[in-house]
Amino acid sequence: MDQKSEMNKKRGGGGSGRQIAVDLIDEKPSKRHMLPVWFFIGLILLTYGVIIFVTGIYEISHPPSTILSNLHAPIWWGGLLGIIGAVYILKYRPHGQ
Amino acid sequence: MTPGFGFLHLSFAWLFAAPSASAKTLSPHPVDFAIIAIYFAMVIGIGLYLKKYTKSGKDFFLAGREMTAWVAGLSFVSANLGALELMGWAGSAYQYGILAAHWYWMGAIPAMLFLAIVMMPFYYISKTHSVPGYLHLRYGQATGGLSAVCFAIMTLLMSGVDMFAMALVLKVMLGWNLNFSIWVSSITVGIYVTLGGLFSAIFNEVVQFFLIWFGALLIPILGLVEAGGWTGLVARIHRNFPQQDFTHLWRGLGHFSDNPMGIHWTGIVFGLGMTLSFGYWTTDFLVIQRVIAAKDIRAAKMAPVIGSFFKMAVPFIVILPGLLALAVLPYHLVPQSAIGSAPGLHSYNEVLPLMLARYCGPGLLGLGVTALIAGFMSGMAGNVSAFSTVWTYDLYRAFIRKGASDSHYLSMGRWCTMTGVVLSIGAAYLVMQFASIMDYVQALFSFFIAPLFGTVLLGMLWKRITGWGAFWGLLAGTVSSVSMFTLVKLNPRALAYVALSAHARAMAENMYRALWSWIICVIVTVVVSYVTRPQPVESLKGLVYGQTELPSEGHLALWQRPIFWAGVALLVFLFLQWVFW
């Protein structure tokens, strides 16, 4: 904390409030090998896409009582989700070190 | 707060008067439950994965300060995309037509761009961890403490209100037990935020952003197909409601009585566009926290700009379903007051679930419900992560235990997250017992927003503003807002003075009350500042315009500069106003 207090003074801070800010900036950004959020998005979109697509195939023979069910939205919507999810997974999948 | 300032219109009476579970709006299939269960597993899995990367206070409270502009920008918008906001504004669109889009365009875009270009550099360069933290740095303990206490209390109460309202929504839509919804969803949020802190909250918010869009987007797509495109939609609305104008943004705002909202254009421009929205988007720590976590100042400036493009698109999944309901539903929705006398009718607020049930069969229905649950959970995670930061740094460290180790504050943050969840659950049950608290809690939050914007803005732009000026200005603005609210409650005729017209409706009252309280805050702040001793200039470095070295962007190509994209966003915003004028 002494070093940080010194830093506060150098930055021109005088009040007690100045100390609060400095504590959070002194650390150097760390290098991490974290999976990007886009990979998780790909994972859940692909999962949902497959489920909805398969449901849509089933609904061809058992159509639901919704409006415009003849458009088979689950098939193309599920397909779209699955494709986007697969692209995200491939693009952001973890690589070996 | 999850639903932003826009929730103020949403009456919760319909939820309390909701039909029994047997009359639920939706009938989910097992595959829908599987989709919902996968979502819960995924968010907890993300929290577990991120725990090993959350080792310091900086990681837990600021997500390591390494978020890219896209992640911070999507999280910034997602934290505001609450389920109640989606449902409430879809209902408003049915009730008021496209006027409801003002809350997404005029009520958001100018403020978001102002935050990005003017205010973000000060938040970022000051290296603060929160908005109360900035006030502490700029004005000292009194103003920072006042702001932190108000924010912490309001965050918990709002979190509880949101939680209870969402549980009621799930009961109405799916027939779920209230206690089950409250405990399962809040414990899930508690687990993933406690494990990964802001990292986890932001990651999940970005995932939730995608789910909200993919879950809700089919309604306008299929709705437009059914209505025959935009032209068919407008023609059907005119046929179904020949006396009313539901499809113009500005044309009916010349007089209070010329539009269904009972509002004048001055209320939209000055009350909503220049006061309330600036207050929310530039000072509410729930959303600001996402941008502060950006990896550098350019990313911090770009994040709200990126968010503004998506915010402009949100009416497509919120307002358009309300308009489509006006066009295609074979029956008319009614105000809640009409429901009690005639069972079997549906209220405005049920628009979104009704449209979901109209177009979405098994699977897609589960995705739509997951979108609503995701909206709720992103808001709650935002609340508890913001509460944990403000408590740990702005209250605990500032007033209770200074100088402890980073690991101590990290531990406090984790405990505080769990405590915040438990207190939110307590607030939810409190609301369950005293229903009228809900509307008052939401009004309370609105009291604080507009004056806070005056305090922060003056502090950033004018070095002459003093700590005492800010403190008394903030207090005077907040008290005046409460006084106006109370006055109108006690004597409804006072509305003619507060909102400039006896024809004004509740929304117009909110807009004008915000405007007056902001003006009072600014006047008191300036007057008190001039009669108190100026702060030393050297203590304002990095905090105030003129005393802060702002990094040059001259070396960047035009398309890499935030100001360029802010200009593009502004043009798109103006284009939308012109198209729907």
Of chain B residues 411-430, which have a CB less than 8 A from chain A?
none
Please say if the pLDDT value at position A46 is more than 50: yes
Q: How confident is the model at residue B264 (pLDDT cuts 50, 70, 90)?
A: confident
Q: What is the pLDDT of residue A18?
A: 39
pLDDT digit string (tens) for B465-477?
999 999 999 999 9
**How distant is the Cα of A22 from the closest Cα of chain B, in angstroms?**
7
ipTM of the complex, rounded to two decimals? 0.82
Q: What is the pLDDT of residue B6?
A: 44
Write the class of the CATH domain B4-547: mainly alpha
**A40 at the B interface (CB within 8 A)?**
yes
User: Which of B394, B406, B539 is facing A14, going by the closest CB pair?
Assistant: B539
Q: What is the pLDDT of residue A10?
A: 39
Mean pLDDT, rounded, for B484-491: 86
Q: What is the pLDDT of residue B13?
A: 47
Residues of B in contact with A20 (CB under 8 A): 128-129, 133, 136-137, 393-394, 397-398
**A29 at the B interface (CB within 8 A)?**
yes
Ordered by start, the domain boundaries in chain A are: 1-30, 32-97
Q: How confident is the model at residue B58 (pLDDT cuts 50, 70, 90)?
A: confident
Mean of per-residue pLDDT scores for chain B: 83
The answer to whether the beta carbons of residues B256 and B263 sit under 8 Å apart is yes
Please say if the pLDDT value at position B482 is more than 50: yes
In this structure, what token pair is assigned to residue B214? 């993919």
**A60 at the B interface (CB within 8 A)?**
no
Q: How confident is the model at residue B567 (pLDDT cuts 50, 70, 90)?
A: very high
Mean pLDDT, rounded, for B500-505: 72
Question: Any idea which of B263-277, B305-319, B383-397 has the lowest mean pLDDT?
Answer: B263-277
Name, in order, each residue with C-beta under 8 angstroms of B280's C-beta and a sequence gap of 6 or more. Answer: B4, B5, B111, B287, B449
Identify the residue with better confidence: B571 or B120: B571
pLDDT digit string (tens) for B178-217?
888 888 888 888 898 888 888 888 888 888 889 888 988 9
Record: contact A29-B214, CB cut-off 8 A: no
pLDDT digit string (tens) for B527-540?
999 999 988 888 88
Mean pLDDT, rounded, for B106-116: 92
In this structure, what token pair is assigned to residue A17? 């409030």
**How distant is the Cα of B515 from the closest Cα of chain A, in angstroms?**
30
Q: What is the pLDDT of residue B19?
A: 46
Q: Can you tell me the distance from the alpha carbon of B517 to that of A23, in angstroms, rounded to the nearest whole number?
A: 35
Instruction: Give the rounded percent of residues in chain B with a pLDDT score beyond 70.
Output: 91
Q: Can you tell me the distance from the alpha carbon of B430 to that of B237, in angstroms, rounded to the nearest whole number?
A: 42
Name, in order, each residue with C-beta under 8 angstroms of B519's C-beta and a sequence gap of 6 or more. Answer: none
Record: contact B359-A74, CB cut-off 8 A: no
Mean pLDDT, rounded, for B286-297: 85
> What kind and span of H or E run contains A56?
helix A37-61
For residue B334, the cross-strand partners are: B347
Helix ranges (DSSP H) in B462-533: 467-490, 495-498, 506-531
Please say if the pLDDT value at position B487 is more than 60: yes
Record: contact A51-B46, CB cut-off 8 A: no
pLDDT digit string (tens) for B418-477?
998 899 888 888 877 765 665 566 566 667 888 888 898 899 888 899 999 999 999 999
Instruction: Give the rounded percent of residues in chain B with a pLDDT score beyond 90.
Output: 19
Q: What is the pLDDT of residue B343?
A: 66
| Tokens 């702005």, located at residue | B394
Please say if the pLDDT value at position A23 is more than 60: no
Identify the residue with better confidence: B116 or B373: B116
Count of CB contacts below 8 A, A vs B? 142
pLDDT digit string (tens) for B76-88?
888 877 767 777 7
Closest CA to B98 of B290, B326, B307: B326
**A15 at the B interface (CB within 8 A)?**
yes
Q: Can you tell me the distance from the alpha carbon of B432 to that of B177, in angstroms, rounded to the nearest whole number?
A: 13
Please say if the pLDDT value at position B47 is more than 70: yes
Q: What is the pLDDT of residue B231?
A: 92
**B399 at the A interface (CB within 8 A)?**
no
Q: Phi, psi at residue B347, to the nearest 5°? A: -90, 165
- Disruptive mutation site among B36, B60, B127 for chain A (greatest number of A CBs within 10 Å): B127
Record: contact B137-A22, CB cut-off 8 A: no
Q: What is the pLDDT of residue B180?
A: 85
**How distant is the Cα of A91 from the closest Cα of chain B, in angstroms?**
16
Q: What is the pLDDT of residue B199?
A: 83
Q: pTM here?
A: 0.83
Q: How confident is the model at residue A1 (pLDDT cuts 50, 70, 90)?
A: very low
Backbone Cα Rg of chain A: 26
Residues of A in contact with B140 (CB under 8 A): 15, 17
Ordered by start, the domain boundaries in chain B are: 4-547
Q: Can you tell me the distance from the alpha carbon of B352 to that of B355, in angstroms, rounded to the nearest whole number?
A: 5
Q: How confident is the model at residue B20 (pLDDT cuts 50, 70, 90)?
A: very low
Please say if the pLDDT value at position A31 is more than 70: no
Q: What is the pLDDT of residue A80?
A: 95
**How distant is the Cα of B67 from the closest Cα of chain A, in angstroms?**
10
Q: What is the pLDDT of residue B189?
A: 87
Record: contact B64-A32, CB cut-off 8 A: yes
In this structure, what token pair is assigned to residue B426? 């307590």
Identify the residue with better confidence: A15 or A86: A86
Q: What is the pLDDT of residue B401?
A: 86
Q: What is the pLDDT of residue B575?
A: 95
Of chain B residues 97-136, which have a CB less than 8 A from chain A?
126-129, 133, 136
**A13 at the B interface (CB within 8 A)?**
yes
pLDDT digit string (tens) for B225-240?
999 999 999 999 888 8
Q: What is the pLDDT of residue B338?
A: 67
pLDDT digit string (tens) for B334-369?
776 666 666 677 777 778 888 888 888 888 888 988
Q: What is the pLDDT of residue B436?
A: 60
Helices and strands per DSSP (H, E), number in chain A: 4, 0
Residues of B in contact with A15 (CB under 8 A): 137, 140, 539
Q: What is the pLDDT of residue A24?
A: 40
Name, in order, each residue with C-beta under 8 angstroms of B103's C-beta and a sequence gap of 6 or more. Answer: B6, B89, B92, B272
**How distant is the Cα of A5 from the closest Cα of chain B, in angstroms?**
11
The answer to whether the beta carbons of residues A82 and A49 sit under 8 Å apart is yes
Q: How confident is the model at residue B551 (pLDDT cuts 50, 70, 90)?
A: confident
